[in-house]
Structure 1
Amino acid sequence: MSETRVHGADARTAHQDLHSEQGALRGEHPGRSRNPVIKVTDLAWLEFEKPDLDRAEVFAHDFGFATAARTERELWLRGTFAGPPCVVIRRGRASRFVGPAFRAAERADLDRLARATGTSVRESDVPGGGRAVALLDPSGLPVKVVHCAGPLPALPGQRPLLLNRGIRSPRVNAPQRPPREPSRIQRLGHVVLETRVFARTLDWYLDTLGMIVSDFLFLDGQRGRGPTMAFVRCDLGPVPADHHTLALHLGPGTGYVHSAYQVTDLDAIAAGGEYLKERGHRRSWGIGRHIQGSQLFDYWRDPDRLMVEHFADGDLFSEDTEPGWAPMSSSGLAQWGPPATRDFLGATPSPAKLREVLHALRGDNELDPARLLGLLKAVNS
C-alpha cells in the first residue's frame, strides 16, 4: 500500500482509534450527509421470491426462524425479539432477492420522504399493519421505508451459556451440555449488496435515508479513486447502533450478496451449525470473527444457494464515531477462523459470472479494467 498513513493524535481524532488504524485523509468522503431527508432506525425486513414455499419454510426452521404468518402465496418469518417479521418470501417463478425494507422513526417521516422523492405513502401488507414508501436506489433495487402499526410480541429465546472465565467461575457442579438444535434467530442484523454504481448508491442511502459510514475499504494502490466498500449504520444519535445495517461493495453484479441474523452467542452459532450440517445444508464459510464489525460469524447456503449468516457479539457505534479506512483483501475479512472460501468470495468461475463481468465493463458504471483487476487482487490477497 503506497498511501500515507495517518498516525498519532490526528488518527485518534479522525476515528477515535476504536476500530481501524487509519482514518480519513483530507478531502476524502466524510461518510455522512449534511442534510438527509430522514434518518431510518433499522432494517425492518427483507423481501424474497421463491418457487417452493414449503422447502423455504423447512430451511427457515432449520436455520432458526419462526413462522409469523403463512398463506398460499406468502411466508413471513420472524425472530424471538419483539418487532416486525425479519423476512417475507412470496411465491415466484425463480428464487431471487426483491429488496430491503427500512424502518422509519415516525409516521411523519414517510410523508417527508414521499414529498422529497415524488412518491406516495401506501398501506403495507406486514402482519399487524403499517404504511410504506416504495423507492428505487441508483442500482435499480426496490427499497421500502415502512412504519409498522403493531409489532409482534417477543418469543422465548435461547439463554446464553454461563461461562467459567478463569478467575471468575460461577458454574460449579453444573456440566455444560448445550442442546443440538437450531440457532434461534433473535433479529435481522444487516444485508450486503453489490452494485456497479457504488459511489452514487452509497450517497443515495446517506442522503435519502440518513445512514452513516462506520468503515470504508479501498483497493490497494487506488485509495485516491475513493472507496469500493462501505459498512453503513443507522444514525441513532447517542444511542449505539449496529456497526453496519447495510454494506455496499463495488462489483460486476447488482443486488443481494448475503443477509445476517443475530443469535445468542458462540455456542448457539456452533451447535446450530452442527444441526444444519446434520440436516444436509451447506456451509459457505465459518466459524470465525470479523474485523470490521467484530462479529462472530457462520455463513450458510439455503436450498436455492442464497447466502445467509448467523452472527453474535457485533460492534455498536454511536453517532460520534467517524469512519475507519482499510485496504480491501480476503485475508482482512477475519481476525481468526478458516480462510475465506471461494464460494463466500464469489470467486468460482462460471459462464454466468463471465457474462456479468463483460456486461459490466461495457456499461456506464464505475467498474473499469483497473477496478476489476484491483478487485481480483483483493480476492486473492
Structure 2
Amino acid sequence: MPEIQLRTQKSPHRAALHGVHSLDAFVFTVPDLDEAQRFYSDFGIEPRREANRLDLYTAGHPHAWGSLYQASGVKKLQYLRFACFAEDFDAIAARIERLGVPRCAPHALGDDRGLWVLHPDGFPVQVVVAAKSSPDAGSEPVVAPRPPTGTGASLNRARIPKVHPRRLSHILLFSGKVPEAVRFFEEALGLRVTDRSGDLIVFMHGAHGSDHHLIAMAHSNGPGLHHLSWDVANIDEVGRGMEQMYAAGHVRGWGVGRHVLGSNYFHYVRDPWGSYSEYSCDMDYVPGDFDWPTADHPPEDSFYAWGPKVPEDFVTNFQTEAAA
C-alpha cells in the first residue's frame, strides 16, 4: 500500500474559504474497553491501547480517527474535534465570536489546543490546526481481476482475506436540534449542506473537498452517535465484512444495500452499545472546486434504493433512551 500523505496547505482555488476541512476525531466513552477492542478488531480496524484509552486506526493510514475511554453507563459521545488549515483558524475564531457561539472549557478528556465551543445539543466541539485527513478525491473501487476460466470457485470461505477499512468516511449523529446544528456547522465551522430530507436528516460536506458527507444529523430526542462509516475497497468487501462479523458473533445489523443520498453500498454492524459501524464503498465525492446542487428530498427517496427490511430499532437513540 502506498504511503499516505496528509495535506497541510489549502488549494489555491479555495483560498477565500475559511472553514474546517476534516472531522479530525470523535471521542466517546463505553463501559468496557476490552469489549470495544474486540469489536473493532473483528471489524478490521486497528485499535491501539494507550494508557486509559483506545485509539482507532485503519490499515496503512497514519491518522487516529477517534478515541474511546471507559466510563460506567451507556456509550456516550463526549466531544468532536474538527481540523482547519493554519491560515483559516483566525477567521473561523472571529466568525464564532461574531455569531455569539458559546465558548466552553476544554473537555476533561481533551487538551487545550485551538478553541472549544458548545454544539447546540450541548456537547463540546474543538477546532484545531491540523493536516487534512478527509480525502482529496473519491475513493476508487478496487476491481479484482477476473479469475482464469474454470477457477471461479477458488475464492472459497477458508481463503477469503479479512476486510480492513481504508479510512473513516463519515459520522452520523442524532440531534434534538437539527436546524440549529446545521446552522452551527454551516455558519460557524464552514461546512456545506449537500442533501437533506427536511429536518429529518441533513448531510454536510467540507468546502475543501470531502465525501458526500463527512458529518450528518438525524432527528432524535437528543444527542447521540448513530454510526461511524468506514470506507472499503468495493462491494465485495462490504459483503465479506458482513460475513466476517457474522463469524465473530456480531449478527445484528442491516444490509447489504445501497443508499440513495451518497450512493454508497453499505452494511451496518450493530456494536455492543446500540450504535453501528458501517462498511461503505463507492460514495459520491464533492471536490473542493465544485458547488454541489443541494436538494431537499422526500423521505422515501432519501434513505436507500435497495436492501433488506430496515430493523425496527435502527434509528433508536440508545443514549437518550437509557437516560430516560
Give TM-score scaled by structure 2 length: 0.78
Please name the residue that 2:229 is paired with. Answer: 260
Counterpart mapping for 1:245-324 below 5 A: 245-318=214-287, 319-324=290-295
What's the offset of the Cα at 1:275?
A: 1.4
Per-residue deviation, residues 320-350 of structure 1 (Å, max 9, x unmatched): 1221221114x75211111222121329xx9
The structure 2 residue matched to 1:343, chosen from 291, 313, 324, is 313
Distance 1:207 1:271, change over 3 A: same
2:261 and 2:93 map into 1 onto residues whose CA distance is 34
After superposition, the Cα gap between the structure-2 partners of 1:115 and 1:301, relative to the gap in structure 1 and judged at 3 Å, is: same
Query: Given the superposition, is the C-alpha separation of residues 250 and 311 from structure 1 closer, same or farther in structure 2, using an over 3 Å criterion?
Result: same
Which residue is equivalent to 1:91?
A: 70
Alignment partner, residue 82 of structure 1: 61
Using a 3 Å threshold, how does the CA distance of structure 1 residues 149 and 296 change in structure 2: closer, same or farther? closer
Instruction: Specify the alignment match of 1:177 in structure 2.
Output: 155
Q: 1:232 aligns with which of 197, 200, 204?
A: 204
Give the Å deviation of 1:52.
1.9
Alpha-carbon separation, structure 2, partners of 1:120 and 1:253: 20
Mapped to 2, the partners of 1:97 and 1:230 lie a distance apart of 19
Instruction: Note if contact 2:226-2:276 (Cα within 8 Å) is conserved in structure 1.
Output: yes
Moved more, 247-256 or 271-280: 247-256
After superposition, what is the alpha-carbon deviation per residue over 1:261-303, rounded to whole angstroms, capped at 9, x for unaligned?
1111111111121111111113321110000000111111112
TM score, norm. by length of structure 1: 0.67
User: Following the alignment from structure 1 to structure 2, what is the Cα–Cα distance between the partners of residues 125 and 137?
Assistant: 17
Q: CA RMSD in A?
A: 3.3
Cα distance in 2 for residues equivalent to 1:338 and 1:300: 14
Q: What secondary structure sits across from 2:239 in the alignment?
A: helix
State the percentage of identical aligned residues. Answer: 25
CA distance in 1: counterparts of 2:55 and 2:69, whole angstroms: 9
Aligned match for 1:326, one of 294, 297, 308 = 297
Partner SS, residue 252 of structure 2: strand
Distance 1:290 1:273, change over 3 A: same
Larger Rg: 1
The answer to whether the aligner puts 1:204 opposite 2:184 as a matched pair is yes
Q: 1:50 to 1:204 in 2, by over 3 A?
A: same
**Kept in 1: contact 2:121–2:222 (CA 8 A):** no
CA distance in 2, matches of 1:74, 1:355: 24
Whole-Å separation in 1 of the counterparts to 2:35 and 2:223: 26
1:320/1:108 Cα in 2 relative to 1: closer, same or farther (>3 Å)?
closer
**Structure 2: which 5+ residue stretches go unaligned?**
1-15, 98-102, 134-140
Give how far 1:51 is off: 2.8
For 1:80 and 1:354, locate their aligned partners in 2 and report how far apart those are by CA, in whole Å: 34
SS at match of 1:58: helix
Q: Is the contact between residue 104 and residue 118 of structure 2 (CA under 8 Å) also seen in structure 1?
A: no
115 and 326 in structure 1: CA distance in 2 versus 1, 3 angstrom threshold: closer
In structure 1, runs of 5+ residues without a counterpart are 1-35, 152-158, 165-170, 219-226, 357-381
Q: Structure 1, residues 144-171: CA drift from partner, whole Å, max 9, x if none?
A: 22333798xxxxxxx934255xxxxxx4
CA displacement 1:293-316 (0-9 Å, x = unmatched): 001111111122221111010001
